[in-house]
Structure 1
Amino acid sequence: MKNQQDVTDLFVIGGGINGCGIARDAIGRGYSVTLAEMNDFASGTSSRATKLIHGGLRYLEHYEFRLVRESLMEREILWAMAPHIIWPLRFVLPFQRGGIRPAWLIRLGLFLYDNLGGRKLLPGTKTLDLRTDPAGKALKPVFSTAFEYSDGWVDDARFVVLNARDAADRGATILPRHRVLSARRENNLWRIELRSEVTGETQTRYARMLVNASGPWVDNVIAITGENEKRHVRLVQGSHIIVRRKFEGERAYFFQNPDNRIIFAIPYEDHFTLIGTTDRDYQGDPKDVAISEAETDYLCNAASEYFAEPVRREDIIWTYSGVRPLFDDGASKAQEATRDYVLKVEDAKRQAPILNVFGGKLTTYRRLSEHALEKIGEAIGVSGKPWTATSKLPGGEFAVTGRAAQAAGLKNRYPFLSDELATRLTRHYGTRAAKLLGEAKSEADLGRHFGAGLYEAEIRYLMAEEWAMTAEDILWRRTKLGLRLTAEEARALEQHVLALKQNV
């Protein structure tokens, strides 16, 4: 028998940006919420994007004006929510006469980009003379003119985990590494069977409504609920390469390719350049996605068309690949499929409805969550009002222009920190960096050093506060220090994490 307290209003399946965003918004409105993720947070699509908070300049070509406008409006809202992990980025778009897009079309697109979304703080578009501007130094001499515009950067995996952390702080039950085995309607409720992927233990939960925000696995979840409806998801693979830093300065590049696709080259983690993305249909299991030889060649060749110094295979430090779960709108090409999201409520007029989430992207997750809560309210009753537009994510409780001051203040309080470490801790944890450092008076108080400024104190914090359980969680999702640690240092970290787990 179950008691009333065993029943939650919402059970969210999926610990990516959409699932964590919906859980956070819902708990803040007064719903009771449980979220289950079969792996670590952001272990799928949400950590494998190009890591941009952007309007989607190229979406204008496909007439997705609603999506672009919503995305543009969200840029400054999200920046204010999390100024430690989100910041403005200027993009340089080199122009060549006879190229695939004429100058007038680019200028029109950028005019719309500047004026469609209520831009207040981000600077507008301007034209650059690459013969004199420093941005031209890294490019081939054939490029003499460029357009420069604004978008934003986000630490995507941290973005997800901070939404989960805030949801938990507000009272949500958050269950990473818990696989949903089945979900069936029983006595006007959802009966959900779960298995811990750590201990193997199973448990049963009940909910008034199910939210399927499982990204590339959304159709799999539909299947375990007993539904056999038509599939709605088109899986599109996007791959990226990381190379040693190719250019100076903090601006990024937007490159147009002869096949009508575009790639970005972005300053990454201070010492590297991120180049991507590709667009191709994917047919396999999302967990097995990996960059192909053809994609690697494509990215190297496309970037080499612009950079004075070619990008070679031997320059690649790391690669990653993800599967975008786009709503299947019947587009003929992967790059033409809509990036907009679609929310479908099944059985809204009966007990135990389900909301299936298709598509979406990092930039629009907050608005997607608000729209999801509208549908949830219609299905099981309204609770609370929209609130996230003026909220702060954990660690982001300072002004958008205050990140440097936060780092200086952290260094002031903990003078033994190097400038580089104080800056990194501020960029990852914001105001919560002080909680990580605690009462430390010296570097020795931070415990064992594993390399690249990663100390035991940070590891303990990530395991206690952010659900990290493996070295991979720490090195590639909570931080990107996997790019800088040696293989030997990474093995030492893995052994240390195992020892800490055994002692818990």
Structure 2
Amino acid sequence: MDDVDLLVIGGGINGAGIARDAAGRGLRVILCEQHDLAAHTSSASSKLIHGGLRYLEQGELGLVRKALGEREVVRRQAPHLVHPLRFVLPWEPHLRPRWMLRIGLWLYDHLGRRSPAFPPSRGVDLQRDPLGHWLSATSRQAFSYADAQVDDARLVVLNALDAAQRGAQVQVGSRCIELRPVQGRWQAVLETCDGRRQSVTARAVANAAGPWAGGLLERMQARSGGSALRLVQGSHIVLRRPWPDDSACLLQQPDGRVVFLLPFAHDHLLVGTTDTDYHGDPARCSVLPSEVTYLCEAANRYLREPISPGDVVWQFAGIRPLLADPDPRAAKLSRDYRLQLQSDPAPALHVLGGKLTTYRVLAEEALARLRPALPQMGAAWTATGDPLPGSDWGDAAQACVRLRALAPWLPLDTARRWAAAYGSRSATLLRDVQGPEDLGEDFGAGLHAREVAFLRDHEWARSADDVLWRRSKLGLRLDAAQVARLQAWMEQR
């Protein structure tokens, strides 16, 4: 039986962040995830590290201030993975008045710490801006502001990797099937995909199960009541990007919502998101045809060349666990979080709600709440401590230069992808590699056996989907035969 200080249930961004923070404070930690790291909500976001401009309209100034502060911290923690992004917000006089947008953007500029990486908002003449050529001729005026973009699933993996390097046990494909209090501690049984079981005794539990957190809370408190969470499906579609500019768009809609157009996977466009109440197993959600239609129509209100469902090359949906609220409009629900501490019958901390950007400060606050149960833990450290693995070479452009110097024979597209995904960890991937022949079988799009083995051995990848959709986005570039070959290769080893 393993005896640990903290059992973290859930391998999404909040669970991985809590495990990393706790391990860095000297606690003995096990993180268990029933599927893959970032298998659900944390790989189905809009891929943004942002304050949330639209949340100002809902009066959530505290959340926006906190998120804007974290935007710079997270960028500094993983500069190769998180990069600033220019947003263009076309002005439509029949939706929100110009003065309202100006005030909102002024607040957005001043609520967070000022940084050269995020220049202040300004007015834009779309007849002169490069992006204006691709937008409707009726869109003449706009505003621009800055936020940041990230590969959400890779951010989860890096936090889990750092937790493991600091001594945490990260167990992927491990489901908590039993959890009961015994003499002020928790006794858990973890079961792997192949049926092996492990008994764990933990002084405290962190319930970071995302959409499953509300149900686990009820089980652990041995009572039922009103649900603490409201599950809302957010769907995205992916198309070939029509313009070369790396800018993003924030598009106002007649129903009061906003829709993002975001650069994605080098030459694709990510369009999202929707807000649809969801009932059912969070692992089985899927994009609805009505959501695809909605997103196409939302984009077409602004695009010069319309898109259609037939242009969609990929789509994904995720379930956001939002704080329960009687407001019938899912889009109006708070994206803030609540940390619910349970002392009886044993210490537990339940993470309810939250957003990608605030994961680090959420983890820090979670450990502060658990300190009475774990008084031996060290001080908070993640705000100014060591950055995430791979950050040593700077941002993605700087990392690419370092990588090309190390392996000048590496194709430029592959070097750029490795630099953005692995940063300085690319040197480990290339250890003892003298040339392209040492990379092994090419499964397509520059994905070689050497990289797949690296992802399996160092990043817990167990299937083709883990590699193609969470550790990378190469699923957009491989055909069915190549995917089948990759899966067969992984099963043989």
The interval holding the TM-score normalised by the smaller chain is over 0.9
CA distance in 2, matches of 1:406, 1:188: 49
TM-score by length of 1: 0.95
CA distance in 2, matches of 1:398, 1:59: 34
TM-score by length of 2: 0.98
User: Counterpart of 2:451?
Assistant: 458
Corresponding residue SS for 2:391:
coil
Aligned amino acid, residue 481 of structure 1? L
**Are the counterparts in 2 of residues 73 and 119 from structure 1 also a CA contact under 8 Å?**
no
User: Counterpart of 1:65?
Assistant: 61
Aligned amino acid, residue 392 of structure 1? P
- Tell me the CA shift for residue 445 of structure 1: 0.7
CA distance in 1, matches of 2:223, 2:409: 60
Structure 2: 5+ residue runs without aligned partners? none
Corresponding residue SS for 2:35:
coil
- Tell me the CA shift for residue 226 of structure 1: 5.5
**1:342 correspondence with 2:335:** no
**Are the counterparts in 2 of residues 330 and 337 from structure 1 also a CA contact under 8 Å?**
no
User: Counterpart of 2:19?
Assistant: 23
- Tell me the CA shift for residue 382 of structure 1: 5.2
**1:114 correspondence with 2:77:** no
- Tell me the CA shift for residue 280 of structure 1: 1.4
**Are the counterparts in 1 of residues 236 and 274 from structure 2 also a CA contact under 8 Å?**
yes
CA distance in 2, matches of 1:290, 1:62: 28
CA distance in 2, matches of 1:178, 1:374: 27
**1:208 correspondence with 2:203:** yes
CA distance in 1, matches of 2:392, 2:299: 38
Query: After the TM superposition, which residues 300-311 of structure 1 pair with which residues of structure 2 at under 5 Å, given as runs?
Result: 300-311=296-307
1:481 to 469, 474, 492: 474
CA distance in 2, matches of 1:368, 1:229: 26
- Tell me the CA shift for residue 418 of structure 1: 1.2
CA distance in 2, matches of 1:338, 1:226: 25
User: Counterpart of 2:253?
Assistant: 257
2:292 to 285, 296, 301: 296
**Are the counterparts in 2 of residues 261 and 335 from structure 1 also a CA contact under 8 Å?**
yes
2:184 to 158, 163, 188: 188
**Are the counterparts in 1 of residues 88 and 247 from structure 2 also a CA contact under 8 Å?**
yes
CA distance in 1, matches of 2:224, 2:6: 22
User: Counterpart of 1:426?
Assistant: 419
Query: After the TM superposition, which residues 138-153 of structure 1 pair with which residues of structure 2 at under 5 Å, given as runs?
Result: 138-153=134-149
User: Counterpart of 1:468?
Assistant: 461
Aligned amino acid, residue 385 of structure 1? A
- Tell me the CA shift for residue 271 of structure 1: 1.5
User: Counterpart of 1:394?
Assistant: 389
User: Counterpart of 1:243?
Assistant: 239
**Are the counterparts in 1 of residues 84 and 149 from structure 2 also a CA contact under 8 Å?**
yes
**1:376 correspondence with 2:370:** yes
**1:323 correspondence with 2:319:** yes
Aligned amino acid, residue 123 of structure 1? P
CA distance in 1, matches of 2:397, 2:152: 21
- Tell me the CA shift for residue 132 of structure 1: 1.2
1:440 to 418, 423, 433: 433
CA distance in 2, matches of 1:195, 1:331: 39
How many residues align? The count is 490
User: Counterpart of 2:91?
Assistant: 95
**Are the counterparts in 1 of residues 393 and 402 from structure 2 also a CA contact under 8 Å?**
no
Aligned amino acid, residue 72 of structure 1? L
Residue by residue over 1:22-70, the C-alpha shift from the partner in whole angstroms, topping out at 9 and shown as x without a partner, is: 0100110111111110000000100000000000000001111110000
CA distance in 2, matches of 1:393, 1:254: 30
**Are the counterparts in 2 of residues 182 and 224 from structure 1 also a CA contact under 8 Å?**
no
Residue by residue over 1:206-261, the C-alpha shift from the partner in whole angstroms, topping out at 9 and shown as x without a partner, is: 00011100000012322443522322010011000000112221100100000001
Aligned amino acid, residue 107 of structure 1? R
**Are the counterparts in 1 of residues 184 and 347 from structure 2 also a CA contact under 8 Å?**
no
User: Counterpart of 1:499?
Assistant: 492
**Are the counterparts in 2 of residues 210 and 354 from structure 1 also a CA contact under 8 Å?**
yes
**Are the counterparts in 2 of residues 181 and 224 from structure 1 also a CA contact under 8 Å?**
no
Percentage of pairs with the same residue: 45
- Tell me the CA shift for residue 420 of structure 1: 1.2
Aligned amino acid, residue 320 of structure 1? F
Aligned amino acid, residue 384 of structure 1? G
Aligned amino acid, residue 26 of structure 1? A
Structure 1: 5+ residue runs without aligned partners? none
CA distance in 2, matches of 1:483, 1:64: 36
**Are the counterparts in 2 of residues 11 and 207 from structure 1 also a CA contact under 8 Å?**
yes
- Tell me the CA shift for residue 398 of structure 1: 3.6
**Are the counterparts in 2 of residues 35 and 173 from structure 1 also a CA contact under 8 Å?**
yes
CA distance in 2, matches of 1:460, 1:323: 31
Q: Which moved more, 1:289-298 or 1:373-382?
A: 373-382
Aligned amino acid, residue 104 of structure 1? W
Aligned amino acid, residue 476 of structure 1? W
User: Counterpart of 1:105?
Assistant: 100
CA distance in 2, matches of 1:146, 1:365: 31
CA distance in 1, matches of 2:115, 2:309: 41
CA distance in 2, matches of 1:483, 1:403: 21
CA distance in 1, matches of 2:238, 2:354: 25
CA distance in 2, matches of 1:171, 1:293: 45
Aligned amino acid, residue 72 of structure 2? E
Residue by residue over 1:346-366, the C-alpha shift from the partner in whole angstroms, topping out at 9 and shown as x without a partner, is: 12xx56211111001110000
User: Counterpart of 2:379?
Assistant: 385
CA distance in 2, matches of 1:288, 1:182: 23
Corresponding residue SS for 2:19:
helix
Aligned amino acid, residue 356 of structure 2? L
1:159 to 155, 166, 180: 155
1:172 to 163, 168, 171: 168
CA distance in 2, matches of 1:256, 1:312: 19
- Tell me the CA shift for residue 332 of structure 1: 2.7
